Amino acid sequence: MSHIEHTLAALKEKFGEAVEQVVEFRGETTVWLRKDAVADALRFLKESPALRYTFLAALTAYDDWPESPRFKVIYQLRNMATMTSLRVKCAVRGDEPELPTVTDIHLNANWHEREVYDMFGIRFAGHPDLRRILMPADWEGHPLRKDYPLGYEEVEFTFNFDEIEKKKPYAKE
Amino acid sequence: MTAEAEHHLLETTLDELKHLFSPRAAAGETMVLNMGPQHPSTHGVLRLIVELDGEIIVNAVPDIGYLHTGVEKNMEAKTFLKALVMTDRLDYLNNMGNTLTYCLAIEKLMDVRVPPRAQILRVLLAELQRLGSHLVWLGTHTTDIASQSILFYAFRERERIMDIFEMVGGQRMMTSYFRPGGVWRDVPAGFEEAVRDFVNNYLPPKLDDYHSLLDNNPIWLDRTKGIGVIDAENALAWCLTGASLRGSGVNFDVRKAMPYSGYEAYEFDVPLGQNGDVYDRYRCRMEEFRQSIRIINQALAKLAKTKGPVITDDRKVAPPPRSELGRSMEAVIHHFKLWTEGFSAPPGDVYAATESPRGELGVYLVGNGGPKPHRVYWRTPSFVNLQALPVLSKGHYVADVVGIIGSIDIVLGDTDR
């Protein structure tokens, strides 16, 4: 039995119905977990001596708006001895965008979770320092949400220069 | 803004950050000092808030985002091919590597095969890019803490690499030479000679010069040995990658661990450090120069033996050759469809990773059946490695912070995306 098969069997045995789905695509394995089981599962995957998914390569999310549940959060895990990769995925509803933090399991999740909060507005309960990380602290909205419009700058010509100048957000004399 | 409002804003901002510093800072025993974002030796717009006890660092809090350009959001609004040109602009010292990672992700998602000659060209150019990036790292790192001259030498050497890139892609930095399914076009005549001359005749003596300038330089040794130490266990816990991890003696290199573009067919060693300090990270990168040269020489030998196409003949992904457009209606249709609508990727998600000069560079790509990516996430090594900066710099002098930043070799375009 390969490492990944062993992992899936162990996960199903330990978490039962919380394992919603297992997807194989292009040689990569994704396990869909219920939201309340994610933190426990990540701890189990890291600390179980037979599994050892100690390396959190990436943590991110994407938005499926207007579908529901709209957010999907992704944890890209790796066993550093066998180089087995496993993706854990979990659906988060738009009306209560909250997940438990995994910063106590994976140290580097700190900035990743801040980024997901900044970009998608998903809150991580128990995070020690949940501030915006890439956008300015007083920014409104969460840019990577699909209902957040992509902004642009109007091209300035002599005929519309004053008009655009008026709309610019910076302080004027 | 009135003075009162300004004061209020300052108070609330500081309140939000209070938990990051020790209670001694509030009592006035230690000093909280701002460093950056406009600081010559933070390698771009990195801001650090450091708490100091005298000259000793109690805590350092990186503040990033000054170079955030919303590349991920922008890529979602463009077709796969149009988004490609934005990848060059992320990590501006690893342009080829960024494009390569993005192409690998697309190829995985679309299940496209890359012809052998293109694979070799990709390896060759990615390694040249590594040389170029390491040269800039060496120049800026040494300027920060010991000697100014190497910066000028390193940029002189890097210029030769830029010339080679201009030769193949028509551009010095933003080449966009790698395309989904292969590379843009075959390399011009004289390319192989230029590369061979550079890596075998030009660069090795210069590397010896750097070694002789630094290896026995007491200032350099003083400023690097025993500074910014992180042990293997901690480095792995923070998920460091690249030379920042290998300096602590952990053998992890994406090229060996999860080979891509045919790296499994090349012979090279992964240099490892022992102590995990600034000096060991320096030794690792210096040795990586030699290993890259080894790989490039093997790639040149393979290139001479491997002829054939440089891009896939899957016309749904790669455009037909120009010569076909004049006589084939099919080719015209493919060309038109590719440059207007683009190709559609199946629903699904993939993760592809490469070894960038800084560590593991990953792309997580989600397709939704349409011609635009549903989500492109860049797992950038600088972002992850920079997170360990407080751990690395605690207990050292404030002057050593610049050395530590240099040793984890961050690029702010990579961090902020």
Q: Mean pLDDT lowest for which of A16-20, A118-122, B309-313?
A: A16-20
pLDDT tens digits, residue range B381-409?
999 999 999 999 888 898 888 888 888 88
- Integer angstrom CA distances of residue B179 from A86, A89, B318: 28, 30, 8
CB-CB neighbors (< 8 A) of A76 in chain B: 351, 362, 364, 379
Question: Which member of A134, A143, A144 has the closest CB to residue B64?
Answer: A134
Rounded to whole angstroms, how far apart are CA atoms A40 and B13?
34
Once rounded to an integer, what is the mean pLDDT over residues B309-336?
89
To which residue do tokens 């060996």 refer?
B256
Beta carbon pairs, A and B, within 8 Å: 91
Q: Which residue of A has its CA nearest to B111?
A: A26
Q: What angle do CA B338, B341, B345 make, to 5 degrees?
A: 80
Question: Which member of A54, A62, A134 has the closest CB to residue B366?
Answer: A62
Residues in chain B: 417
CB contact under 8 A, B384 and A136: no
pLDDT tens digits, residue range A15-49?
888 888 888 888 899 999 988 888 999 999 898 88
In this structure, are residues B155 and B344 in contact, taking their beta carbons and an 8 Å threshold? Answer: no
Residues in chain A: 173
pLDDT at A173 over 60: no
CB-CB neighbors (< 8 A) of B379 in chain A: 57-58, 60, 76
Chain A: give the shortest CA distance to residue B309, in Å: 25
Q: What confidence tier does B8 reach under pLDDT thresholds 50, 70, 90?
A: low
Rounded to whole angstroms, how far apart are CA atoms A151 and B153?
42
Once rounded to an integer, what is the mean pLDDT over residues A97-106?
90
Question: Which member of A74, A80, A134 has the closest CB to residue B252?
Answer: A80
The interface residues of chain A toward chain B in range 62-101, judged by CB-CB distance below 8 A, are: 62-63, 74, 76, 80, 83, 85, 87
Question: Which member of A25, A62, A111 has the closest CB to residue B348?
Answer: A25
Identify whether B37 is preceded by a cis peptide bond (ω within 30 of 0).
yes
In this structure, are residues A72 and B377 in contact, taking their beta carbons and an 8 Å threshold? Answer: no
Q: What angle do CA A82, A85, A87 make, to 5 degrees?
A: 155
CB-CB neighbors (< 8 A) of B375 in chain A: 60, 62-63, 144
What is the dihedral angle through the alpha carbons of B94, A137, A112, B375, rounded to the nearest 10 degrees?
A: -70
Q: What confidence tier does B198 reach under pLDDT thresholds 50, 70, 90?
A: very high
In this structure, are residues B32 and B19 in contact, taking their beta carbons and an 8 Å threshold? Answer: no
Q: What is the pLDDT of residue B5?
A: 61
pLDDT tens digits, residue range B158-177?
999 999 999 998 888 888 89
In this structure, are residues B50 and B389 in contact, taking their beta carbons and an 8 Å threshold? Answer: no
pLDDT at A172 over 60: no
Rounded to whole angstroms, how far apart are CA atoms B141 and B403?
7
Q: Which residue of B has its CA nearest to A55?
A: B239
Secondary structure class of B93 (helix, strand, coil): coil
Distance of CA A14 to the CA centre of its chain: 24
pLDDT at B294 over 80: yes
Whole-number mean pLDDT of chain B? 88
pLDDT tens digits, residue range B342-351?
888 899 999 9
- What pTM was computed for the model? 0.90
Phi-psi region of B70 (alpha: psi -120 to 50; beta: other; left: phi over 0): left
Q: Identify the CA nearest to A87 among candidates B97, B348, B308.
A: B348
In this structure, are residues B139 and B151 in contact, taking their beta carbons and an 8 Å threshold? Answer: yes
Rounded to whole angstroms, how far apart are CA atoms B74 and B345?
18
CB-CB neighbors (< 8 A) of A106 in chain B: 239
Chain B: give the shortest CA distance to residue A84, in Å: 10
Question: Which member of A63, A80, A133 has the closest CB to residue B236?
Answer: A80
Rounded to whole angstroms, how far apart are CA atoms B10 and B4?
10
CB contact under 8 A, A58 and B377: yes
pLDDT tens digits, residue range B37-85?
877 666 778 888 888 888 899 888 888 888 898 899 999 989 998 999 9
Please report the DSSP string for B351-417 in residue order: EEEEEETTEEEEEEEEE-SSSS-SEEEEE-HHHHHHTTHHHHHTTSBTTHHHHHHHHHT--HHHHH-
Question: Which member of B239, B353, B388 has the closest CB to residue A56?
Answer: B239
In this structure, are residues A80 and A86 in contact, taking their beta carbons and an 8 Å threshold? Answer: no
Question: Which member of A107, A111, A135 has the closest CB to residue B383?
Answer: A111
Both tokens of residue B87? 């990848």
B352 has which bridge partners?
Answer: B363
Q: What is the pLDDT of residue B268?
A: 92
A61 has which bridge partners?
Answer: A73
Q: Which residue of B has its CA nearest to A120?
A: B73
φ, ψ of residue A105 to 5 degrees: the values are -100, -50
CB-CB neighbors (< 8 A) of B108 in chain A: 26
- Integer angstrom CA distances of residue B127 from B92, B123, B143, B262: 15, 6, 24, 13
In this structure, are residues B53 and B397 in contact, taking their beta carbons and an 8 Å threshold? Answer: no
Which of B377, B379, B414 to substitute to test the interface with A, most A CBs within 10 Å?
A: B377
CB-CB neighbors (< 8 A) of A74 in chain B: 349, 364, 377
Which H helix or E strand runs over A87?
strand A84-92
| Axis crossing angle, helix A38-47 with helix A3-15, rounded to the nearest 10 | 130
Rg (CA), chain B: 23
